[in-house]
Amino acid sequence: MTYAVLLCLAGAGLALWASTRTWSVELTVRPTPLPPMREARTGAGLLPWLSALAVVGLAGGGAVLATRGALRRLIGALLLALGAAVAAGGGYGLVAAFDGEVSRQWPALCLAGGLLAGAGGALTALRGAGWPAMGARYERPARRAATEPGPAAAGPVTGRRTTEAWDALDRGEDPTAG
C-alpha cells in the first residue's frame, strides 16, 4: 500500500510541478526601437486541464489511505485513468508544434509523472481490496436499539449535565470517562 500511495503522490506532484513550468516562449517582433515582446506559456496555460488532473491525483493518493475494499479498488481504477490522461497531456506536449521556442523537458516530466500516478492506481486497483484500512477507533460506534439493555446512548450534554461536566473538568476529572 505504501508503494502505491507514494507512486500516486510522487507522480501527481511531479506532473503538477512540470505543468507549471514554461513549455514555450513566443517572441513577437515589434517596430525597430522596441525590443521583441516575449510571451512565456506554461503547460497549465497551454493545457488547462493538466494541472487540475494532477491535483485530483494528489487527492486520490489520500483517498487510497482513507478507503477500503471495493471503493479503494474503484479509486485505484480512477487513478489509473487519471494517470493515463496526464501522461497523454505530457505526450501531447512532446509532439505538439507550439509557437516559438519550445522546451521538451517539462512535458517529458509530466509524461513520467502521469505514468507513475497510473502505476500507483493500477497497483491499487489490482491489490487494494486486501490492504489494511484505517483503525476502527476513528469510526463512530453503532447505536444500540432501545430494546437492548445497558446505558442509553450518549447524546449532547444539555441542561444540568452541562454544568456537571464543566465542574468535573475544573476538578481535573474526565467527564467522558465511563
- What pLDDT is attached to residue 145? 52
- 22-28/101-102 β-pairing: antiparallel
| Dist CA 40 CA 9 (whole Å) | 28
Report the C-alpha gap between 127 and 141 in whole angstroms.
29
pLDDT on residue 162: 75
DSSP string computed for 60-81: HHHHHHH--HHHHHHHHHHHHH
pLDDT in tens, 43-75: 888 889 999 999 999 999 888 888 888 899 999
CA distances to 109, 134, 137 from 84, rounded to whole Å, are 14, 28, 36
Distance, C-alpha 150 to centroid of its chain: 43
pLDDT digits (tens, 9 = 90+) for 126-168: 988 888 777 655 556 666 554 555 555 555 555 567 778 788 8
Taking the alpha carbons of 52, 55, 61, 67 in that order, is the dihedral positive or negative? Answer: negative
Distance from C-alpha of 160 to C-alpha of 45, rounded to nearest angstrom: 61
Angle at 82 between CA 21 and CA 6, to 5 degrees: 75
Cβ within 8 Å of residue 66, ≥6 positions away: 134
Beta bridge partners of 38: 27
Chain segment 34-43, per-residue pLDDT in tens: 887 878 888 8
Residues in contact with 178: Cβ distance below 8 Å, sequence separation at least 6, in sequence order: none
pTM of the model: 0.67
Predicted local distance difference test score (pLDDT) of residue 77: 94
